Structure 1
Amino acid sequence: MATGGNAIRGTRVGSGPMGEQDHGYHADRIAVSYWDGLGNETVRYFAAGLPDEEIPETIDHPQSGLPAGRDKANPPELSKNEPYKTHLAYVKERRTDDEAEQLLDEALTQLRERRGQ
């Protein structure tokens, strides 16, 4: 049984000659390392011409979820999450009990005037 060769078997249409290494233009880039509080490193790549102030100082580490910074010796601290507050808690931060009572009296007075009492 003779085996016939098929020159295009296993290649993509329009891929060019077999063994072609250049598949487009590769932009210059720089590698920036980030470390989290556990000492884990992750590398992000940025365009080589990007100004330094546009490269973020901190990111979220993809494995640990902790904040990661560019300084290995001083990784960023985990920020304290503020507990969930209800709408009433925010109102109480802005108003004193006396102000709340005054607003309630004004609202009740307006309601009574509309009802004709």
Structure 2
Amino acid sequence: MASGNAIRGSRVGAGPMGEAERGDTAPRIRVSYWCARGHESRPSFAEEAGVEPPEIWDCPRCGLPAGQDKDDPPAAPRTEPYKTHLAYVKERRSDEDGEAILTEALEALRRRRGETS
């Protein structure tokens, strides 16, 4: 008598074993990309998509942009250093403006406290 296991003799995840059951794979083209550090990556694209492969591809090793020209890869993007709030304020205001604002704020503070200068 059977033990009630309907998939006896099979393992979990078992499926078709070849292209005959799955069908043929789509024709692919491989394109080489090089980053500024000299890494080569070769992603594949479907030929039948009718779209040109992208000019820039992110390098899977270092994350820099990679291009199709080995001798002239794209430059690494320039990252701006972190700026504090004060640095942004200094970009917008001159030293004279800062002095005037500070003087005005100190006078208002002294008036509220009841101090005289």
TM-score class, shorter-chain normalisation, is 0.5 to 0.7
Alignment match, 1:39: 38
Deviations 1:36-71 (A, max 9, x none): 12432102334553644xx54333322244331122
Q: Displacement, 1:34?
A: 1.1
**Alpha-carbon distance in structure 1 between the residues aligned to 2:66 and 2:18:** 40
Alignment match, 2:49: 49
Q: Map 1:1-117 onto structure 2 (within 5 A).
A: 8-10=9-11, 12=13, 15=15, 21-23=20-22, 30-46=29-45, 48-49=48-49, 51-52=51-52, 56-112=54-110, 115=112, 117=114
Q: Displacement, 1:30?
A: 4.4
**Alpha-carbon distance in structure 2 between the residues aligned to 1:49 and 1:83:** 41
Cα distance change of structure 1 residues 102 and 12 upon mapping to structure 2, 3 Å threshold: same
Q: Displacement, 1:97?
A: 0.5
TM-score (normalised: structure 1): 0.59
Flag structure 2 segments of 5+ consecutive residues without an equivalent.
1-6
**Alpha-carbon distance in structure 1 between the residues aligned to 2:108 and 2:26:** 68
Cα distance change of structure 1 residues 103 and 22 upon mapping to structure 2, 3 Å threshold: farther
TM-score (normalised: structure 2): 0.59
Farther off after superposition, 55-64 or 33-42: 55-64
Q: Displacement, 1:35?
A: 0.4
Tell me the secondary structure at the aligned position of residue 99 of structure 1.
helix
| Paired amino acid for 1:49 | A
Q: What is the number of equivalent residue pairs in this alignment?
A: 107
Residue identity (%): 48
Flag structure 1 segments of 5+ consecutive residues without an equivalent.
1-5
